[in-house]
Structure 1
Amino acid sequence: MPSPGRTRRHAARFDRQEQGLSTFLTAWADDVPVGTAQVLWQGCAAPEVQARFPGCPELNGLRIWPPELRSRGIGTALIRAAEERVRAAGHPLIGLGVDDDNGRAAALYLRIGYRETGCRYLDRYAYLDDDGVRHEAVDPARFLVKELAGCAPGPM
């Protein structure tokens, strides 16, 4: 039986994409999905980020599974696919949030051209666990941006 939490999460992502608010990306190995990410076209929801980077699309929800497939270029390929879609839509910047306790992800983002902005915020979100129970979470995070080649530079 499918998890109510996962099913609802994917339904919400599908709804956002159908409304033109996001683009959902999936990485495949043969016919098996091994990673996902999405571009949120309206940007990061945090007011601190919106104030500094209005209109900057956000790469969000990058996940690779199973964990043993990490560090094989799948995440980088999803990031590049997101960047290309944002560039093609005429946006000069793409941004992403990284939790303070996710040093491995931060190192990847910095290595492929994202830069620190000094913009810190609390990433607030809710999720449903596998039993359908709602949980609230707050993670300290920082917002990184990358200027996209072929587009005019954005604000810093």
Structure 2
Amino acid sequence: MLQSVITEDAASTHANVTMPVTVRDLRPQDLPACAWSGSATHLRHVERELTRAASGEVDYLAVCTPVDLPVAIGGIDYQACENAGTLWQLAVLPALQSCGLGTLLVRAAEERIRRRGLRKAVLAVEEDNPRARALYERLGYIAYGRAPEAWDEEAPDGSIRRHETVCILMRKGL
């Protein structure tokens, strides 16, 4: 269940809204509704990963509203790390962050990993993303190292630039 607080300007009226959400596999037809998750380059990469999902190499999950719109997405790669599921590309619609969707997404991913007979989940979080790291720590992930990461990003003008960062490596026994 998703619970959020709606606040109206001057009246300061507060209301709690509870909305059921579901977790299912992300589908190619969902990608236009996932533009919030990254650039066009990112979405093309997600689309390629969905072909790997068809072969069972990865799972790509979507947390969806009652009208079946994805508001959180993320992948699990079963090939990247021996005897573990690697969580990656986890994202929550910015307006709905801190509502429990990230927790739901990670727990659903961990359940998928367990169903594969694996007992470990790993992930990498950028050093400059303390909110995400705090979430993973609350969910039981332990930092065990650091590693450089890099990928190409599409700029608003359509040019491609290289993004380089350092990630904290984290793992959890399942």
Please give the TM-score of this superposition, normalised by the length of structure 2: 0.70
SS at match of 1:77: helix
Of the three residues 20, 30, 41, the one matched with 2:56 is 20
Spell out, residue by residue over 1:72-104, the C-alpha distance to the aligned partner (whole angstroms, 9 max, x if none): 111110100000010111111001101100000
CA distance in 2, matches of 1:30, 1:71: 19
CA distance in 2, matches of 1:77, 1:19: 25
Is 1:58 aligned to residue 72 of structure 2? no
Is 1:11 aligned to residue 50 of structure 2? no
Of the three residues 55, 69, 72, the one matched with 1:35 is 72
SS at match of 2:133: helix
Unaligned runs of 5+ in 2: 1-31, 33-38
Q: Is the 8 A contact 1:122 1:139 kept in 2?
A: yes
CA distance in 2, matches of 1:138, 1:10: 19
Q: Is the 8 A contact 2:71 2:92 kept in 1?
A: yes
Percent identity between matched residues is: 32
Q: Is the 8 A contact 1:93 1:145 kept in 2?
A: yes
CA distance in 1, matches of 2:75, 2:123: 11
Quickly say closer, same or farther: Cα 1:4–1:75, change in 2 above 3 A.
Answer: closer
CA distance in 2, matches of 1:85, 1:104: 24
Q: How many residues align?
A: 136
Q: 1:20: Cα distance to partner?
A: 2.1
Q: Is the 8 A contact 1:37 1:62 kept in 2?
A: yes
Q: 1:132: Cα distance to partner?
A: 5.0
Q: 1:56: Cα distance to partner?
A: 2.3
Matched with 2:153 is 127
Q: Which has the higher contact order (CA 8 A, sep 6+)?
A: 1
CA distance in 2, matches of 1:138, 1:144: 19
CA distance in 1, matches of 2:96, 2:113: 26
Q: Is the 8 A contact 2:41 2:154 kept in 1?
A: yes
Q: Is the 8 A contact 2:63 2:72 kept in 1?
A: yes
Please give the TM-score of this superposition, normalised by the length of structure 1: 0.78
Unaligned runs of 5+ in 1: 44-49, 149-156
Of the three residues 65, 81, 85, the one matched with 2:108 is 81
Q: For the pair shown, which has the larger CA radius of gyration, 1 or 2?
A: 2
Structure number with the higher strand fraction is 2
Matched with 2:136 is 109
